[in-house]
Chains A and B, each alone.
Chain A
C-alpha cells in the first residue's frame, strides 16, 4: 500500500499527540514497510500461539479498531497531519528534554534548539526514570533510592508532588491520557499503577524478575515491561491489568521502546549485546539484531533504530525494517537514555559517565551539539517534551 508510506512520518514513542491515533492504527494490509519478517500479521483477530511457548495461551484480541478499509478521508487527515509535521519549519522547534541526573539528584530541563540547560529541578533519592506526558504538562520521575515518584509541573519547572512508593521504583511510563502512571519495581518484580492525582497505588501487576524498562502503546491499550533478570518482555493489558503473555528476549533486556506505526517492540539486551524485536500484538519475536557492547535503550527515527552501547561508548544504527546495520556513532562515555525529536530528525543521548547530553542528526548520523546537564545523566524513558 504505497500510498500509506507518506503517513509514517515518525515511528518513535515521542510522536506528539497531534499525530493522532488514526495515523498509528494497525492496517490489515501488509505493512507499509513490509519486507521480510517485519510484516504485520494480516489477520489480527485470529488466535495465534503466544511466542516461544512463554505465554498464557492465546493471542489477545487487538484492542484498536481494525480499520479494515481506511477511508480516503482518514488518509487525507493523516497525510495532512504528516505534511504539516514534515514541512512546517516551526513544527518541532521549542522541544525540551527532561534529563534525570541520578548522581546529581536533579532533573535538567534542556532547551533542544539551543542545547542549553533552561532550568534545574531538584529531585532527591537518585532520580533515574522519566516519562513526560504527551501533552507536555507533566513529567514523572522515579527515584530508585528514595523510593518515590515525583510529579513535575513541566512549565513551572517545579516538583509539585512526591509520591512515596516501595521496593525499587525504576522505569516509568505514562498512559497517553496523562494518567495513570506505570512504574517498574526493580526488586519486587511487579509494576505499580499510580494515580498522579491521588498519589495512591491503585494496583500492582506481577511481572518477571527485575523489570526495568516500560512503555505504553500510543492507544493506551498495552503496557510492555522488559524483565531484565527473566530475559523476557511482559505484555500487560492496560484495561484489565492482566499479563497477556511474554516474549523471550536475548540476555538481560533493559530499555524497551514501542514503534506504534508498525506495532513492534524493541528491547536492548545489556548482556546479549543485541536488540530483540517483537510484535506488540502477538509477542512473536521477529528478530534479534546484533549491536555493540552493553546496549541500554533504543530510539527510532527516520526509519532507523539507534541503540546506546554503554561500554562501547557508541550508538549502533540499523535499518528498522530490514535490520541491516547502518553504522556506529561515537557519542560519549556510558550512553544510556535515548530518544528522538518529534519530527524524527534528531536523536538525543544522555552520556552518564562524562555528563554529556548529545544531539545527533538522524539522517547524516553526525553529532551536532552537546551540553553538560549535571552529574550522571540517565534519562531513562520518554524524556522529550513537545513544544508548549
Chain B
C-alpha cells in the first residue's frame, strides 16, 4: 500500500508534470488496471452514505473546491469537479442504488496531467459491518495515461495505479477522520 501524506491530487499534479499528449478519443493501452481500497469507519453506513451518497456533492474529496452538475442521482447525471489546484474533472453517473448504498460513475474528461489515466470508471460501495461500523470500498478501473505501446515511465501502468491508489487512500483516510471526528 502506498502511503501519501499530502493530498492525492497534489501528488498527482507533481508526478505528472509532463508534456501534454494529444487526447486520442477513446484510444487506450491494452491492459485495464484495477485498484481497490477500503476503510472501516466507526459509524453507521447511513451516516457515511449521507456524506458520500450525493453525486452532486464531492466535497468529501479534500482536493475538490467545487462540484457543479445536473441530474441529481439519476443515471446519466453529470458533474464537474473543480479542484483546488485548478484542474477540472468531468464525470457522469452510470449506476446508483441508494438502498444498497453503491454508485458507479465514470470520468468523461480529465487531463492526464491531473490524473494520469484514461477511460476511468469507479464503484463506491458501503458495506455495513459489525457493531454499527461501516466499510467503504472504492474501486477504480482505468487504463494508463499513455495510450500507445512502450509508455514513458510517468504515464505507464505503474504510475497510473500509484496515482489512483494514493488518491483513494488519502481520501478514504480523510473521510474516516472527518466522520469519526464528528463533522
Chain B residues within an 8 Å CB radius of A168: 30, 149
| B33 contacts A by Cβ under 8 Å | yes
Q: Evaluate contact between A103 and B33: CB separation under 8 angstroms.
A: yes
Bound CA span A252–B30, Å:
15
A187 proximity list for chain B (CB < 8 A):
148-149
Kindly provide the distance from the CB of B55 to the nearest chain A CB, expressed in whole angstroms: 15
Q: Interface 1/0s, chain A 62-77, versus B by CB < 8 A?
A: 0000000000000000
- The smallest C-beta distance from A370 to any residue of chain B, in angstroms, reads 18
Q: Which of B10-47 contact A (CB under 8 A)?
A: 26-27, 29-34
Q: Is the CB of B30 within 8 A of A126?
A: yes
Q: Is A229 an interface residue, CB under 8 A from the partner? A: yes
Contacts of B33 in A (CB 8 A): 103
By a CB distance below 8 angstroms, the chain A residues around B148 are: 187
Q: For B104, what are the chain A residues with a Cβ–Cβ distance below 8 Å?
A: 311, 313, 333
A144: Cβ under 8 A from any B Cβ: yes
B94 contacts chain A at the CB level, 8 A cutoff:
yes
Interfacial chain B residues near A144, Cβ < 8 Å:
29-31
In the assembled complex, which residues on chain B have CB atoms less than 8 Å from the CB atom of A293?
94
Question: In the complex where A103-B34, A229-B27, A271-B26 touch, is A167 in contact with B149 (Cβ < 8 A)?
Answer: yes
Whether B149 pairs with A352 at a CB distance below 8 angstroms is: no
- Chain B nearest CB, measured from A329 CB (Å): 15
The interface residues of chain B lying within 8 Å CB-to-CB of A170 are: 30
Tell whether, in the assembled complex, residue B95 and residue A313 are in contact, meaning their CB atoms are under 8 Å apart.
yes
* A interface residues (Cβ-Cβ under 8 A, vs B): 102-103, 126, 128, 144-145, 167-168, 170, 186-187, 210, 229, 252, 270-271, 293, 311-313, 333-334, 352-353, 375-376
| Shortest CB distance B54–A (Å) | 21
Of B33, B34, B94, B157, most buried by chain A (CB within 10 Å of CB) is B34
Question: What are 27 residue pairs bridging A and B, where the CB atoms are less than 8 Å apart in the complex?
Answer: A103-B34, A126-B30, A126-B31, A128-B30, A144-B29, A144-B31, A145-B30, A145-B31, A145-B157, A167-B149, A168-B30, A210-B27, A229-B27, A270-B26, A271-B26, A311-B106, A312-B94, A312-B95, A313-B104, A333-B104, A333-B123, A352-B32, A352-B34, A352-B141, A353-B141, A376-B32, A376-B34
Best-surrounded residue of B27, B32, B121 (most CB of chain A within 10 A): B32
Query: Most chain-A CB neighbours within 10 Å: which of B26, B29, B149?
Result: B149
Query: Contact at B34–A375, with CB atoms within 8 Å?
Result: yes
Q: Do A128 and B31 have beta carbons less than 8 Å apart?
A: yes
Expressed in whole angstroms, the Cα–Cα distance for A128 and B31 within the complex equals: 8
Contacts of B94 in A (CB 8 A): 293, 311-312
Q: Which residue of B lies closest to A378 (CB)?
A: B32
In the complex, chain B residues whose CB is within 8 Å of the CB of A270: 26
User: Which residue of B30, B106, B139, B157 is within 8 Å of A353 (Cβ)?
Assistant: B139
What B residues does A126 contact at CB under 8 A?
A: 30-31
Residue of chain A at shortest CB distance from B121: A311
Q: Are the C-beta atoms of A353 and B149 separated by less than 8 Å?
A: no
B30 and A334 within 8 A (CB)? no
Query: Which residues B138-183 have CB closer than 8 A to chain A?
Result: 139, 141, 148-149, 157
Tell me, in angstroms, the Cα distance from A45 to B3 when the chains sit together. Answer: 67
Find the A residue at minimum CB distance from B31: A126
Q: Which residues of B contact A312 (CB under 8 A)?
A: 94-95
Neighbouring B residues of A128 by C-beta, 8 Å: 30-31
The docked-state distance in angstroms from the alpha carbon of A144 to that of B31 is 7
Closest to A313 in B: B95
- Per the bound structure, the CA–CA distance linking A333 and B34 in Å amounts to 12
The answer for the CA separation of A375 and B141 in the assembled complex, in Å, is 12
Q: How far is the CA of A353 from the CA of B95 in the complex (A)?
A: 14
Output the nearest chain A residue to B123 by Cβ-Cβ distance.
Answer: A333
B106 adjacent to A252 (CB under 8 Å): no
| Whole-angstrom CA separation of A126 from B31 in the bound complex | 7
- CB neighbours (8 Å) of B32 from chain A are 102, 352, 376
Cβ–Cβ < 8 Å partners of B149 in chain A: 167-168, 187
